[in-house]
Amino acid sequence: MGDTNASSQRREVTLERLWDKLQAYGSGDWYPYHMPGHKRNGWGALPPELAKLDITEIDGFDNLHQPEDLIKRLQQQAAVICGAEESFYLVNGSSCGVLAAISAAVPQGGKLLMARNCHKSAYHAVYLRGLEAEYLYPNLLPDYDICDAITPEQVKEALLRDPSVSAVLIVSPTYEGRIADVQGIAQVVHSYGIPLIVDEAHGAHLNFAQYFAEYRLTNSNLAGADLVVQSTHKTLPALTQTALLHVNGRIIRRDRLRRFLQIYQTSSPSYPLMASIDNCLSYTAQYGREPFRQFEARFLKLLQELESLQKLRILRGDDRQDIGKLVISVRGTNCNGKQLYERLLQQYHLQPEMAAETYCLAMFTVGDRQEGYDRMRDALLETDRQLESCREFETERENLPFVKASNRVIGLAKAWDSKVEWRYPEECQGCVSGGFVSLYPPGIPLLVPGEKIEEEHIKAINRWLTMGLSVTGIRMEEEHCSLAVLV
């Protein structure tokens, strides 16, 4: 971020803070003849301190769906901080940002070029708007069963093959922290006169990349994306459900974007959630340099301390690996990702973010204390000493099916509305999937409605279930699993 932005940031953060205004209002003598029904009083286990701050669009507090005063100024400030032309507060998470971005960028029934490792909200937009989806398939990182970021070359090739798409959607950083060359991709996409949407749900901290010393990262607004969705609640200290949608350039019609935000966001936005976005951005812009420096130093030190691991492996930072995502690979050991996850949870009381077949993911942010680094380090070093190397297990593994071209029989929107029946996996080979099947988290679909179910899908589902991983979109009755297939 340039100096001009930095100095306007310093000016802007002197604005009235929403938390302060809520606090002051809650302590005043205004009587609420309006919603919410708790009337700012505690009720049962609802803490009065929380109820006191929980108001709706009353006088003096503006309206998220038609901001003219306080919320307008807060959103303008968010745009300055995040390097965007215009920013919107989201209280329904990045999910509603992804829905609104795709809906605004692609006409009803149009075509979207999207990364296959997108979050389910992108697939939901495809369904709701009756879109045709073409996929960009991420490469697997060598030695790790992890999707890499989409590259400009992959986008170029796909657009050459089919230039009729209305927009391109990628995820960066990915759940595991792989960062795309967004600048390179934006150049390719813009040469076709179409917009680039970046699902940067895992990258809100990149708004403050100027605070990292070692990382030459930038957010996707500054890299040239037209629409950028960020979950403030994922990688910044903000309350769950809070997020931002940013828009840049002239390709996206802003009136359409606003319309879809009104459709997908609640008509009763939570003021504590909005205050939490305001607090997170303004406080970080003003006081974030030192906490971010400490975060970076602690994370790098942890990586260094884990260099002595003999069997577990940590995905090491190259310049495309984000700060804060600790990907612990169990490949080559006698345990799987879920067993490591359970061990960290049960034995050490460390709650990881997720488990996959061959790795476990722990997240660190600017909100962590030193204790979080120390406890993870000690647990991993001790676990590593107790594990055994195991070559055999490694050779049994198959590639993840969703990084290979899927066999689409009918479009997602039509398939998801079709009649289905539930069958045991062994009876599904060659059938057309009637639903989404995903490992959750991260919720990237293994199967999308309308895709042919292949042997490798069935094997993957069986392996995941045997390992105790959480699979969504299936039906479990006693010990038996079944899948929805089109009839």
With CB atoms as reference, the residue minimizing the distance to ligand PLP is: 93
| 241 to 260: interface string for ligand PLP, x by CB under 6 A | --x-----------------
Based on the shown chain and the rule CB under 6 A, indicate whether residue 175 belongs to the binding site for ligand PLP: yes
- Whichever of 133 and 483 has its CB closer to ligand PLP, that residue is 133
- Whichever of 70 and 245 has its CB closer to ligand PLP, that residue is 245
Q: How many residues bind ligand PLP (CB under 6 A)?
A: 15
- Whichever of 352 and 434 has its CB closer to ligand PLP, that residue is 352
Based on the shown chain and the rule CB under 6 A, indicate whether residue 199 belongs to the binding site for ligand PLP: yes
| 213 to 242: interface string for ligand PLP, x by CB under 6 A | ------------------x-----------
Smallest separation (angstroms) from ligand PLP to the CB of 92 = 7
Smallest separation (angstroms) from ligand PLP to the CB of 353 = 10
Smallest separation (angstroms) from ligand PLP to the CB of 252 = 19
Smallest separation (angstroms) from ligand PLP to the CB of 356 = 13
Q: Which of 116, 119, 129, 205 binds ligand PLP (CB under 6 A)?
A: 119
Q: Which of 22, 53, 81, 98 binds ligand PLP (CB under 6 A)?
A: 98
Q: Which stretch binds ligand PLP (CB under 6 A): 198-206, 290-298, 362-370, 479-487?
A: 198-206
Q: Which of 203, 401, 434, 442 binds ligand PLP (CB under 6 A)?
A: 442
Smallest separation (angstroms) from ligand PLP to the CB of 231 = 4
Q: Which of 61, 75, 82, 93 binds ligand PLP (CB under 6 A)?
A: 93
Compute the radius of gyration of the chain from its Cα atoms: 23
Residues 137-166 binding ligand PLP (CB under 6 A) are none
Based on the shown chain and the rule CB under 6 A, indicate whether residue 171 belongs to the binding site for ligand PLP: yes
Based on the shown chain and the rule CB under 6 A, indicate whether residue 201 belongs to the binding site for ligand PLP: yes
Q: Contact residues for ligand PLP (CB under 6 A)?
A: 93-95, 98, 119, 121, 171, 175, 199, 201-202, 231, 243, 442-443
